[in-house]
Chains A and B, each alone.
Chain A
Amino acid sequence: MTWVIFWQLALGFGAISLVSIGGGIAVLPEMHRLVVEVHGWMDSGDFARRFALAQAAPGPNVLVVGLFGWHVGGVGGMLTAVLAMTLPTSFMAFGFSRLRTRLAGRMWLKTIERGLVPIAVGLIGASGLILARGTADWWLPVAITVASAVFVWRTDYSPLWVLGAGAVVGLLAL
């Protein structure tokens, strides 16, 4: 009865998505509870490895739910998990976007938008720190991170250069 698993994926990730304020990764503990503790689809080590893989790959971080879904139900499981995690909140975001357009120019909305800006920027910085901690086992990865940060901050060249450099340094020295 594989459809039960798809149903569990859809309901589980759909419910989690509705409380994911601050981003999909905010609810990683809840995902762990669903995937490891409630359903026992994988152990904690598998969970951590899949998270690391999704972090290393390009794309929205939330796609890690696709890897959980893949593990449980192949391609269908992947699509089910990703859609459950993204579709319900997408309708809310779209509704909000329409509301925002209608209210554009109101002073109170402008104030709210400006007040949220530093939180958005601060959380980008925070995700950088968290990513850095994942690789900072010794001085070389830390040096790559610092050099890359300075390069991206102080120049307008494409950041793809530092990713390529990081890959080469990693290949030669790690």
Chain B
Amino acid sequence: MTDDPQPRPVPTLGDLFLTYGKIGLIGFGGINAWARRVLVEEKRWLSDQDYAETLGLGQVLPGPNALNAAIMIGDRFHGTAGAIAAPVAMFGGPLILLAGLAMLYDAYGDLPTMRAVLIGVGAAAAGMVLGTAAKMTEKLKPPPPLLAIGLIALVAAGILRVPLPVTVLGLAPFGIWAAWWAMRKP
């Protein structure tokens, strides 16, 4: 649970491809929580702060944020080749799986057993995503103004259902201001 001081390993291109392939295939409930789990906790290629900064940039850019983050992380380790390998691996596996599901779904989607398993997995995946947010907050130790911005984002997007572009672009100036304020202090 502690930040360890050892140097972070640098992945080979093959590692990057296989790891993103794995993230795609286990990414129940969305990629971001799983990408953090694998890249920060299991592989230790990135710190929590690195990952959260990259994902934050991925969210203000247009496009799927997990994809934007994968491109930036791939580029960081292996330039253009990495920026291609990571997203292709992340999308490739799930896409093949989804094509299979699309065919099976019309035939078996209404089976009660299938629905029960999907509800159980869905509820667990939701908890996994929530637990990840709690864990990231604990490790990042944000100063109070940044914590407040995070809580506002949570309530706005998760409870009030404010449209995401409004949430992201509306809160970004305040987040940047809060970061500037926090960095001024020794």
Contact = CB atoms under 8 A, between A and B. Distances in A.
Interface in B59-98: 59-68, 71-72, 75-76, 80, 83, 87, 90-91, 93-95, 97-98
A167 B127 contact: no
Interface residues of B, number: 107
A29 to B, nearest CB: 8
B142 A118 contact: yes
Interface centre among A96, A100, A115 (most CB of B within 10 A): A115
A123 B167 contact: yes
A29 B87 CA distance: 25
Interface centre among B26, B58, B72, B158 (most CB of A within 10 A): B158
A116 B60 contact: yes
Nearest to A147: B127
Interface of A: 17-26, 29, 49, 53-63, 66-67, 70-71, 75, 78, 82, 85-86, 88-90, 92-94, 96-98, 100-101, 110-132, 134-136, 141-142, 144-154, 156, 158-160, 162-163, 165-171, 173-174
Interface of B: 1, 24-34, 37, 41, 49, 52-53, 55-68, 71-72, 75-76, 80, 83, 87, 90-91, 93-95, 97-99, 101-102, 105, 109, 113, 115-138, 140, 142, 146-147, 149-154, 156-159, 161, 163-165, 167-169, 171-172, 174-180, 182-183
